[in-house]
Chains A and B, each alone.
Chain A
Amino acid sequence: MMTTHTATAPSGATAALLSVRDMTVSVRDRGVVRPLVAGLSFELYPGETLAIAGESGSGKSITSLALMGLLPNNVTVTSGQALLDGVNLPDLPEARMRAWRGAKLAMIFQEPMTSLNPVHTIGSQMTEAIRAHEAVSRGAARSAAIEALRRVRIPEPERRMKQYPHELSGGMRQRVMIAMALALRPALLIADEPTTALDVTVQREVLDLLRELQAETGTAIILITHDMGVVAESADRVVVMRQGRMIESAPVDTLFTAPKQEYTRALLSAVPRLGSGAARAKPLPPTASVPVARLVGAQVHFDIGANFLGRPTHRVHAVEGATLDIQPGETFGLVGESGCGKSTIAKALVGLVPHAGHVEVDGKALGGLTSLGRRQICRDVQMVFQDPMAALDPRMTVGEAVAEPLLIHGIGTAAERHARAADLFARVGLTQDQMTRYPHEFSGGQRQRICVARALALKPKLIICDESVSALDVSVQAQVLDLLEELQAEMGVAYLFISHDMAVVENVVDRLAVMYLGQIVEMGTRDQVFGNPQHSYTRRLLDAVPIPDPQRKRPPQPQRPGDLPSPIWPIGKAPARVHLRDIGDNHLVAQEA
């Protein structure tokens, strides 16, 4: 990796593969032409990785679509050039562009499930793609496809050829996408947020893979990402964009050590870093006699599949014997990768899924509650979801939405509820005149503030933040996290903070539990778990977090063989329960075989 890195630093000697000169992309909306990307210029050399970094709305994805000739109908390149091998891409007729796509330049998208056709096998999609560009026999295309799958280190490529996309895990699907993109050895690969939808350990594997393939084939990569950690790990040079304009362009080391622009500095300082959490350590809240929430051996199972009698054949052990307690006023983190059961615990706490075992909120057991009792619990536990747009009713004004919990629980008169909602709006940093607007009129960060305001309306003792900041830009993420912290100091509310992002978790939690396949494998204070991780899975998670520092390049992570183990078991069988051992000061670690 280091050799390719030095070899591909821009120099006058080698000719640029792609050179974008003063490119402007504009949208025509009801007769008004508005630029989305304005005056963008950069050069890309063979074998180099250029990262285009920026927050949402910066025009980074529009740039990639413009290069691929995949812009929507009302969006066009209005001026400037994008020369690939001396040919201006926007001038290329659609028929030529179609021949070039895949063969000379290829693209991989964020969500591999939606970019693969679900009704065709992997094999037929790959051979079709190859035969669309090269006049080869079906057999030759098939062996080329198998070879491509082998190159992206997919185990048992012959068997994968017969499988459908849904049979593969997210990481495997993204590997298939990369294999398809690279099957024809294009000179340029555009990767648009290639790892954003993936788990952190899988992200690491995919980034490692891209780097290895680049070293083998010499493909130039444009990596579009919002994640400065990914930039630091993978890029040679960086273009920072904001609101359609290039803010700064520099080699990755220079950018991270000496950013020239104010915006770049702000962007970099907003990135949560592992290890910076300890600096702002506060004393743990004292252990209360009644925790705000307590789980003892809690289980959540879902039955799936059906035999010919209509009986389920398999069972998802989403949560298998979780035991934890959350103290008043503390922030308790729950981390793990997708499918580990962390969100299911949250849903069990608010009664969205049925559970077995003991779950109590503020000393009251959830099992066997009357509907009145359940509504009482609702006042104590509130939830803030990941996607604020989806969690707000699009046909209700946000003012109504924030006042709604009060209305549901019959608190106050209409005027009092309105006043309280207005107070909450002010508290989360919004203005009162915004209350009559609808959710779609706000930005992502503002919407999440509205959701926080709604959660606060009933003065709950516990707020569950289920990936509440994951969908937000880093600078907005930092603001929302600050707001949550202020609210905690003010009102003494406890948080159950669920996230896949270890760096964010390290910065906000007091204590945390690490979940793997429905079970807690390690639990303790932040310093215990981050400072002295004991379980191999915890270490693996921590190792996989990209470090926003290009000086610290890490060796590739050894790849796991095959697919991830799954929490689905046939009826009658159950996973072995792990046993937690206290290794001192309530630092609990699962014993490993």
Chain B
Amino acid sequence: MKQPYIFGIRHLSPAGAWHLTRFLSEKQPKLVLIEGPSDLDDQIEYITHPDTRTPIAILAYTKEAPVRTILYPFAEYSPEYQAIVWCKENKVKCRFMDLPSEVFLALPSDLQNESRGEEERMSVYDLLDKQAGEDGHDTFWERTLEHAEKTEEYHQGANVFGEHIRAFSEGQERDWPELLVREAYMRRKIKEALEEGFAPEEIVVVTGAYHVAGLLDETAVAMTEEEVKSLPGKEAKHTLMPYSDYRLSTRSGYGAGNRAPAYYSILWEAVKRGDYQYMAECYLSRIAAYQRKSGNPVSSAEVIEAVRLANSLAVLRGGKYPALRDLRDAAVTCLGKGSLPSISLAIADTEIGTRIGALPEGVSNTSIQEDFYRKLRELKLEKYRDITAQDLSLDLRENRTVSTEKAAFLDLHRSFFLHQLRVLQVSFARTAAVKQDNATWAEQWVIRWTPEAEIELVEAALKGDTVFLAASFALKERVEHAAGISEIAQVIEDAFTCGMAEAMVYATAGLQAMAVDAASIVELAKTAHRLSTVLQYGSIRRLDSEPLIPILQQIYYRACLILPGECICDDAASKELIQAMEMINSAALAHEFLEEETWIQTLTEVSHRDDLNTRLSGFAAAVLLERGRMDNQELRLEVGRRLSIGVPAELGAGWFEGLAMKNRYALIARLSLWESLDNYLGTLEDEEFKRALVFLRRAFADFSAKEKDEIAENLGELWGTNSQQVSEVLNGTLGEAEQNIIESLDDFDFDF
């Protein structure tokens, strides 16, 4: 039987794209079959839409969670893309002929990686790298095939290349069965086309060079109807999405690898012009231009020398034109003065590039993508849709200088939108730290569009049709699956930053329904902290947070009630409790509707009781001191009581450690405190002193030099010595002898 023309290619190959169009023009086929999922035919018309800008990709994704995706990227110089363009221009039918995406998505995941299992074949390419000599197979391919000037040369060469790889790896690869199934399916598609009435010479099949031998194999049979039906399948949808040069470059496993997409664009330009020399000139001039822009003078004479060097390097390797490797080495030698680091940024920019694709309006097939781009326009965020990260500062306050309500709250709505994306885990924007003085109304974002973000967006399509709906669905889901009240509080906070009142009401109801009684003090404190934040900053986001007040009150009382009981714990747990106390304290400070006295009484109890963890008692005392609810007299009594003879030294020192954790200034200012401490240490026996020392050292470890100075001043006052000398001793580093003594304390036995 006569076979249709089969043109083997490498998936991202400028020369392949060029020769393929020439081949098509010569053969004038009536049908072009392209290796790509056969259920994606409907995307072909959008791919050739005049407003479409490459790189783009077709994304197929499962309709049910967990979402699995596969991607078919197209660069301008993809032979497949150029074939599609040619078909459109010549009004020739064009179809995809590979297994439907639904089947791909149903294949076991270790076989089907995102790039159709091509990554699995890396081992073959690794072997090939060794065979091809110093530069690996990429340069080999570039020198032999990308630089092939005759269509016939390329056609034959690619076939031989594919055939050899195939012979090399036949049957050994893990995805070998999958490959056979795919080829059987492709043969079926070809057969169907023949049965439709196309003559063999009216069909051109465009496929990876690897498959050429498989498709030409006369003995292999096409897949039967029953076999097609027995293929696994997962319900899937697909959409076009913009892609980026950067992403193309990271997918080096993709069949034929493309580590330098921007350089390949230059190659494409050169191939189109039929002037391979253009490649060297353009590449090196771009590096020079980048260097100049970043303030490193590079002369044209140096560029000329680099071109000459690249050419002679190519000749040394037996090539006609310089390959990327030669160009890069020439750039390093002539433009980088022999050092790669000095031009590595220019090289990255010239080889990888920052281009991203674009699609005409209405082409994205998921409504959430549509909504995303509509929102970008509405909120004037379009210029941030770029592969380079950009900063955006938002001022959430009303802008009183503009007339419309929409413009006045533009930044606030932007913030809502970006937070919604954050909730959906779309990595389009991330928050950066803001200075304390404007934390209430300012937000700092770093925005960067990546194909990954687009994919995450498509994945979020399952949750809702718009960003807003999807986000509220995601929040609801989190309320339903929440394990504790602080998780729900987190949802409330998120709903609040997203400006989603409904979700807030829903989460609030969820919080009320959950048994507050079962929660631990730490959980309660976290919840209180989150709710308190929402209530404090509620007005700026123009949301009604009133319903949260009774809940916060309830949690606050509960926390006060159980705190003393929870303070019986070991030192490890005390850290968490200290944080919890801190959070409750700040909530109590921030809101008048939380009765202060209740909190003070609780603290006083914790501070006075002797059976609790002494660190916590100390910390409670520190809070009281800070709030001015403990006077000097009380403090002196307390210090005397805690640091008296007979109390085990580590308990006393632990208490002091707790006390010193907060508000050091107030401590330092109280001379009486240091007097008591001094007296106390004086009374200790040697052995006890050693015990106390360990804890006290820890307590003073994070005092700053200035604070130590001030303590020194106090001690100097007490001892009647020069404060300077004391300060020197306190701030000095340890001598060797002292270090040894301290190390010996490590072995100190704390059991008693």
A and B: partners?
Answer: no
- Show the binding face of A for B, using Cβ within 8 Å: none
- Show the binding face of B for A, using Cβ within 8 Å: none
